[in-house]
Structure 1
Amino acid sequence: MPLLRLPVVAGCLLYVLLYGLATLRYPGGTHADPQAPGFSWMQNYWCNLLDATALNGAPNTARPVALLATGVLAATLLLFWWGFAGRALVQRPLRRAMRACGIAAMAVAAMLPFGPHDPVLYTASTLGLVPLAGTYIGLCHLGERALLRAGLVVIALIAANNLCYHTPGLFGYLALVQKLTFLYFLGWTALVEVRTAPSTA
């Protein structure tokens, strides 16, 4: 089954490509140095790409690409959770909860460029824990123990993000940890899709 025939895998790859393109279009500025040129992988965040104005005060030309990437990410995760819930041998209440909370999480996440940052992020993350937990349970049912163990790293990375965010001495590492979390989570999601999606001719 060619990978690019899987919408979820294609969506993960497209998001990464759009993210990279958005960073190339970012005018510049970080919280530490508003006059810094371009996008800093160590000091800028995904949300900086979504702001209407860059941190250096210029109109943010990265925003249209970042908005498109956000839509692609939301649609990709929604497709993944919807499809996985249907084939993971979980009971109907959990399957419904995974799909309902997945839809709600992605709908809230799509408001990130327009709403208050922290409440939107925390709400989407909390809702997303339900389909994520359902994915772990589904992997157990399918006997995919290696994927389950790999998925637990996602929890560790989420914890690391929160630790960096709430610890002044570690805050400088947050931007890097955020990017590593994105890449690892998307890679794991794509691998789960490849390993568990039904074969097609």
Structure 2
Amino acid sequence: MLNPKGLLKFLPTIGILVFIGIYIYASKLYPGGSLADINSAGFDWLNNHWCNLMRENGLNGVQNQARPVAIAGITILCGSMIIFFFQFADHFEKSRNWKIIIRISGTVGMLSASFIFTKYHDIMTTILSVFGTLVIIGMLRALHKNQLTVLMVMGVFCMIIVGLNNFFYYNENLTQYSPIVQKTAFLLILSWTVCLNLTINKSVLKQWL
């Protein structure tokens, strides 16, 4: 039988699902303009970055009604991820120092992500990349020590895609491909997070099932 207290343990997964729903809804409100065609109409899933949804105006210059919705989405996602990093550190990590590293790195990374809609976008993205990489390293270390090989391999792929995302974004010759790399990174990292959240709380799932 479901109970509210047990449900709270799955806030990271719930937050991710809510974010995906908001992401899709916000994409329908975006007026248009992309890297491929500044005059295009609507959100182009191949050529628009997520952060385009948080601009005051679309790349085509039209006022962006998706902005408040997208900002709400990224806020929910970042809050959910901060909860997850604390859960992960408490469940998998025995070292006090690494617990602190995972918690602080995860929190700083998510706080920076929640401000990527501001004029400091590039700075916030860089901070997110640095602390995101650090927290993933900490998580991979913990998963290795707990002999969770499949989840560790998933984490390695996440770290690789984060690196590729930054490489494509900051390389002028490859920027055109960065939107699709970014979405792939989102999909992999969020899927990994859901798997870990369910693994952490598998005892609760068994009770429900």
1:138 to 142, 149, 155: 142
* Cα deviation, residue 34, structure 1: 2.1
1:71 aligns with 2:47: no
Q: When the two structures are superposed, what TM-score results if normalisation uses the length of structure 2?
A: 0.89
In the alignment, what sits opposite 2:104? 100
AA aligned opposite 2:20 = V
**Pairing 1:80–2:84 present:** yes
State the AA in 2 paired with 1:68. A
> 2:172, 2:35 → 1: CA distance?
14
> Cα distance, 1:142 vs. partner?
2.0
Matches within 5 A, 1:106-117: 106-117=110-121
Counterpart residue number, 1:40: 44
Structure 1 position 185, deviation (Å): 0.8
Percent identity, please. 29
* SS of alignment partner, residue 163 of structure 2: helix
2:134 counterpart of 1:123? no
Which residue number in structure 2 is paired with residue 16 of structure 1?
Answer: 20
The residue number in structure 1 matching 2:61 is 57
Quick check: 2:38–2:59 contact (8 Å CA) kept in 1? yes
- The aligned length equals 200
Change (3 A) 1:10 1:172: same
Q: Does 1:154 align with 2:158?
A: yes
Q: Which runs of 4+ in 1 moved over 6 A?
A: none
**More deviation, 182-191/105-114:** 105-114
Shift of 1:198: 5.3
Describe the SS at the equivalent of 1:199: helix
Cα distance in 1 for partners of 2:135, 2:166 equals: 20
Q: TM-score, normalised by structure 1?
A: 0.92
CA RMSD in angstroms comes to 1.9
Query: Cα distance, 1:143 vs. partner?
Result: 1.7
AA in 2 matched with 1:172:
Q
Structure 2 residue ranges without an equivalent (≥5): none
